[in-house]
Structure 1
Amino acid sequence: MIKKIYSTLSTFNTIELHEGLNILLADITQKSTVKDTRNGLGKTTFIEIIHFLYGSSCTNKSVFKMEQFKDEFFIMDLELNNNLYIVKRRGSESNFVYVECEEVSDLKKKYGMSGISNIKIKVTEWNEFLGEFLFNLNSRDELIKSNLKFRSLFPYFSRLSKDGGYLDSTKYFKTQNVHLTQIALSFLLGLDTKLAISYKHLEEKKKEITDLKKAIETDSYNKIMNDGINLDTEITILTAKISKSKNDLENFLVHPQYREIEIEANNYAQKISELSNQNFMDRQIISELMIASKSERNIEDFNLFELYNEVEIKLPDIVIKTYDESKLFHEQLIKNRKKYLQEELEQYNEIVIKRSQLINELSLEQSKKMTILNTHGALDQYSLLQSEMNELVSKLDMYQKQQHFLNMMREEAAKLKIEEQRLIIEINKSLEGHSRTKQHAILLVEEVSNCLYNSVAQLHIGQTKNGRYDIEMVSRNQNSTGINSMLIFCFDMMLIQMSKFLDRKMDMLIHDSSLFDPVDERQIAEALRFGKDKSIVAGFQYIVTLNSDDLPDSVRKEVASSILPVLLTDADESGCLFGVYY
């Protein structure tokens, strides 16, 4: 229970509280005009101070970080387990909380700080202590510790309008995650929270699969799918090709002078070709010389004298006289001609034979070079083979990854379906096993609802079709004014009473005036009556901030003793909570 809220800020209006119902009023004065507002008087800021001292985060936009306030301590006298705790915190060192408490206090026992009067601890440590003390959170249970914090439970008992706390009874934050909501509510209602955590993990795994599907849908993946490639078949073929390439590379011999040998072999081939061409031409000449030689042999039988007789020309004596000489000359000419042809023929034959021998020698050398080239390879050829194999390996790796992802997704999807069915059964069994707790919460809401005008609300606790916990408030009367506000009121009153039912020490509920803004006067009156009576009977502190003209006259006398002495007013700046305008 909070006993007092105050500050080292000299102008701050100290707020002292008591058991049961506490009403902090903000009043309008006759000097106020239509341009004045009571929204800046400090009703909401008062609740924010309580959050600040209960370990909320403190951003640079927070009022506690403002230059004129950052070094001022905001202080709370808090009674826990009959021990007084004086809690102090300021914006300039917002990561720490100062606590003064008795030697036998639970805080000193937890952190072993006996003998230290003014304890300075981290906000995280303070929150852990509050979680253990007020909600029985087990900090040694890693599953609970990593999924459930004090700060994810406390706002259900002190909603903030700026966070959207009065929009939905099951949420204290506008964009609150559904699974975190189910975890918190299952705990606050005494259900099996670990099943809610398991369902959250299940949904996270489903999201991972969905994200994985998006991740693998790359251009290469889409091409594979569009080309109609069967991954199993392609992997089999590629594996065989890689095996062959690997074997070829292992048997590939790189000769250091491969290029020089290749050039020499090419030169040999060129020379052999040139010599062969020359032999061909010379053999043509030889053939012609042989024909010419045969012709010369036929000329030996040529008779000049008979030729003259055939043409019947009478040769002069001088011709006849010189005929013998001419014949001798002619025979010598023929003989010289035959000798010349024979010498030419022999010369060309010798040249052709020598060339043929050279061709044989060159062919032998070329054969040696080609043998080396056939059994060895060049480095660039080896590199080309290596590059081709690397491409195959890269393609195989891509296909194998795609196949692995697809197989994994299929397996995970199947496992998740099994896990989902298991959780459906487990949560159903758990709800049956917690039927007493479930019934108690439902009846608590029913009790509050019956006390309000038109009996507006019901609590449903069950399962969605997907199997997770389904905890929601529903309205019996959709035409009732401010129905959402009354659903929240009923829900919160149920939660604070469930705290005692579950043997927890959380004993405070706070409602801002925002809750009552859309509610008609009769429902406000009934809500205040119920809060006043139930807080005494159930033993919790109920704090309400209201504008004075929203307090129904019909209940004003009944709650007069619950109205706090400090009346926030817009008469001047001293009337607001901080005592100064900012």
Structure 2
Amino acid sequence: MAVRRFDDVARFHKSVIDNRRTHLSEEIDETERQIKKGEDRFAVLDAERSEILQLLEGHGALEDFVGLQRRLADAEAEAASLRDRFQSATVLASEGTELTIERASIKQRLQLDHQNRHERLNEAILLVGAAIKKLYEDRKGKFEVEATENGPEFRITIQGDRGGGISSMEIFCLDYALFCIWSKRGKGPGFLIHDSHLFDGVDARQVARAIGLGAAAAREYGQQYIVTMNSDIYDSLKLEDGIDREAAIIEPRLSDRDETTGLFGFRFD
């Protein structure tokens, strides 16, 4: 009984294997037919391509075709570049609009701030105007503070040639006004200092009057006005009454008279 069952199982397995073998054989045959068919189709297409290329080459169209392909690639690259530039321009335009709005807002806030601080602005304007009047009897000038989209602009103008002398005196007037304003409020460093370069190209009369203005402001507010100046120029100035020429000089004097003089033992050429 056991032997017959074993034989039945063996026959069953053999039948399954035979069926699978037959099926695989059929699939292999079909695959080989498809491969052969594909190879035949490839040969036909390859022959057609060769004929087309020969035809194009014979009529000079192959070079035209290659050239058109090259031009197409260049056009596509240029189109991509233009798209990138357009996107960048769009972003910049958006940022520019935001910047314009922000600048307008800055200008509006500055105008409001100037209105709130008109008393202090008027004080500075009057001080600059008084200094210009003191420096130049025959010239007029003004100090303007304007709110712009880029921030506040300060302009001091004095009539006359726009040479170095007048420009230097415009700087002096602004320094003088700031010195007076801060000293009056008990603030600031406590002194105003000018180098001799500020007075280069300035008429001796204006130099003397500027020194007088600075000295008067220093006395009024208990501060100090310092000017570095060569002795020959200083001695030639006609200083205003009330200024002690010798007392105003602070010791020691710096000199380049000989090899023994200088600044702390050093000489500068």
Structures share a fold, TM > 0.5? yes
1:367 paired residue number: 33
Aligned residue number for residue 238 of structure 2: 554
Q: Are 1:457 and 1:473, in contact at CA under 8 Å, matched by a contact in 2?
A: yes
- Cα deviation, residue 365, structure 1: 4.8
- Cα 1:369–1:409 change in 2 (3 A) is same
8 A Cα contact 1:456 1:483, kept in partner: no
Q: Which SS does the other structure have where 2:145 is aligned?
A: strand
* Superposition pairs of residues 422-437 of structure 1, within 5 angstroms: 422-437=105-120
Residue in structure 2 matching 1:573, options 234, 255, 259: 259
Equivalent pair of 1:573/1:579 in contact (CA under 8 Å): no
CA offset digits 1:377-413 (Å, max 9, x no partner)? xxxxxxxxxxxxxxxxx99997775454233222212
- For each residue in 1:387-440, what CA deviation from the matched residue of structure 2 results, as whole angstroms up to 9, or x when unmatched? xxxxxxx99997775454233222212211211222222222222122112111
Cα distance, 1:481 vs structure 2: 8.7
Question: How many Å apart are 1:441 and its aligned residue?
Answer: 1.0
- The 1:371–1:428 alpha-carbon spacing in structure 2 relative to 1, beyond 3 Å, is farther
**Alpha-carbon displacement from aligned partner over 1:126-182 (angstroms, at most 9, x marks no partner):** xxxxxxxxxxxxxxxxxxxxxxxxxxxxxxxxxxxxxxxxxxxxxxxxxxxxxxxxx
Q: Could you give the per-residue CA deviations for residues 353-386 of structure 1, whole angstroms, max 9, x where no partner exists?
A: xxxxxxxxx985543437999xxxxxxxxxxxxx
Write out per-residue CA displacement over residues 427-485 of structure 1, whole angstroms, 9 at most, x where no aligned residue.
22222122112111111111222222325542111134x55322121113438992222
2:96 to 401, 408, 413: 413
Identify the match of residue 533 of structure 1 among 190, 208, 216: 216
Q: How does 1:455-474 map to 2 (within 5 A)?
A: 457-464=141-148, 466=149, 468-474=151-157
Distance apart, 1:487 and its partner CA: 1.3
Q: What CA distance in whole angstroms lies between the structure 2 residues aligned with 1:449 and 1:417?
A: 37
RMSD between superposed Cα atoms in Å: 3.7
State the partner residue of 1:563: 249
Find the residue that maps to 1:575 and give its secondary structure.
coil
Contact 1:532 1:559 survives alignment (8 Å): no
What amino acid does structure 2 have at the position aligned with 1:367?
R
5+ residue gaps, structure 2, are 1-27, 40-76
Whose helix fraction is larger, Structure 1's or Structure 2's? 2
The AA in structure 2 aligned to 1:530 is: L
SS in 1 for 2:229: strand
**Distance of 1:395 and 1:485 partners within structure 2:** 56
Deviation (angstroms), 1:568: 2.2
Corresponding residue of 1:511: 194
> Would you say how many aligned residue pairs link Structure 1 and Structure 2?
202
Question: Aligned residues: percent identity?
Answer: 26
Q: Which ranges of structure 1 fall in alignment gaps of 5 or more residues? A: 1-361, 374-393
Residues 24-423 of structure 1: pairs in structure 2 closer than 5 A? 364-369=30-35, 401-402=84-85, 404-423=87-106
> What's the TM-score, normalizing by structure 2?
0.62
1:414 aligned partner, one-letter code:
T
SS in structure 2 opposite 1:569? Answer: coil
Cα distance in 2, alignment partners of residues 522 and 515 from structure 1: 14
TM-score, scaled to structure 1: 0.31
The verdict on how the C-alpha distance between 1:568 and 1:365 changes in structure 2, with shifts beyond 3 A counting, is closer
Contact 2:184–2:221 (8 Å) recurs in 1: no
